[in-house]
Chains A and B, each alone.
Chain A
Amino acid sequence: MGKILIVDDTLFMRTLVKNILFTGGHSIAGEAGDGEEAIAKYKELKPDLVTMDIVMPKMNGIEALKGIKAIDPAAKIIMCTAVGQEQMVKLAIKSGAKGYIVKPFQAPKVLEEVKNVLAS
């Protein structure tokens, strides 16, 4: 089980991911609503894993991913993408993302992906 930082600009999606992770026995390190806040929270909280939305204000998920990777190359980050953003996923993987889930998602699959990435 891991300590997870949830990054998404909508409260609804953050709450949804939080609920899914709770049911899987994970704990929530914190939440961030944009890329800049994600990097700051990562430095402060040192989570085991980050779930990162791609499209966000101020700084998008790809830039935040690169920022976190620059601080901690071993950071485990799962990208949350909407349908049609598959190109972004490829870019994220090249930039060091460990996994990706497509919105809307189903709880068991999210937990499976989190488990796989935490074990990697």
Chain B
Amino acid sequence: MTEVPVKIEFNKEWIVTKLAVSEDRLVIPAPINKEILFKSVLDVSEKKSILIITVKTDVEVVYKILSVEKVLQFLKVRILPLCNAYRLMAYFMSPAIRGGVMIKEASWEKGSVVVVKSGIWFVSAAKQISVPITEVAAIELTKRDVQGKPTEVIKIDYLESAEVVSSLVLCPISTLQVLYNFLKDTTKSMDMKGTELDGVDQQVAMLVYSGMDSHAIENMLTIPHKQLDQIYDKILSLGLAEVVVIRREIQLSPKGVRYITDATKSQTN
């Protein structure tokens, strides 16, 4: 049994405590007094320095554990291999591409891919990377050169701090197909037909992806702002984007006209 210092959220308060961690369970001392078997953990996610675990006994209970990175890493390494999840041994490269640029120092790591209710984890002794399902943009079977041979891999694209990141998973082809189907099924709420947007709409979406603002898009595609607004409405209604800034157009009031007229006079005098 190893004890680690943590803060656990209980009754909307953070309790400073020492969590006892054994091979198969966590023991939370008073005032919480709970034993959590790893196999009863249904979901594991991470937000900043908080590890969130959902445990199913009679009802589902969510525990939020706050600690330093080293402690959280220790907990993840213990919980993820035994929790209630779809899990398989695999090689992964995460991240492999960031913002469309391949990461040169990226390499294959031996570990496992763990799919829980809210996300996909890439787990090795050194790394535990979580990809929330809600951030997954695409999953596809593709080919990569592995040791000089074109090899089938799964490529998972997801958003991380507004940047599109891709990770790759490599395992035997039969397992790969099962994992691919499982991941596709898990993320099927994100699937679309591909015909929802026409040519110009798609160009607008791609320019938004590239980081262009409304003004740049209007200039580049030579479209009026009303048309761009209509395309934005379409993209928004399909759930493909969210509004981050609302730009306003204004017209001067009589007071404003007087002010600017006076300002011009004083400049010319």
Residues of A within 8 A of B (CB): 12, 15-16, 19-20, 83-84, 86-87, 89-90, 99-110, 112-113
Contacts and interface: CB of A to CB of B under 8 A. Distances in A.
A109 B145 contact: no
B106 to A, nearest CB: 12
Interface residues of B, number: 24
B68 interface: no
Nearest to A13: B206
Contacts of B207: 16
Given A83-B142, A105-B210, 10 more contacts: A19-B220, A89-B102, A101-B102, A104-B210, A105-B100, A106-B100, A106-B209, A109-B100, A109-B101, A112-B101
Contact of B100 (A12, A84, A110): A110
Listed residue (A89, A109, A113) with the most chain B CB atoms within 10 angstroms of its CB: A109
Given A16-B210, A83-B155, A109 B98 contact: yes
Interface in B206-232: 206-207, 209-212, 216, 220
8 contacts: A16-B212, A20-B210, A83-B140, A104-B210, A105-B100, A109-B99, A109-B100, A109-B101
B127 interface: no
Listed residue (B99, B102, B155) with the most chain A CB atoms within 10 angstroms of its CB: B99
Contacts of B143: 84, 86-87
Interface of A is mostly: helix
B216 A19 contact: yes
Interface of B is mostly: strand
B163 interface: yes
Nearest to B155: A83
Given A16-B207, A19-B220, A87-B143, A105 B212 contact: no
Listed residue (A83, A100, A112) with the most chain B CB atoms within 10 angstroms of its CB: A83
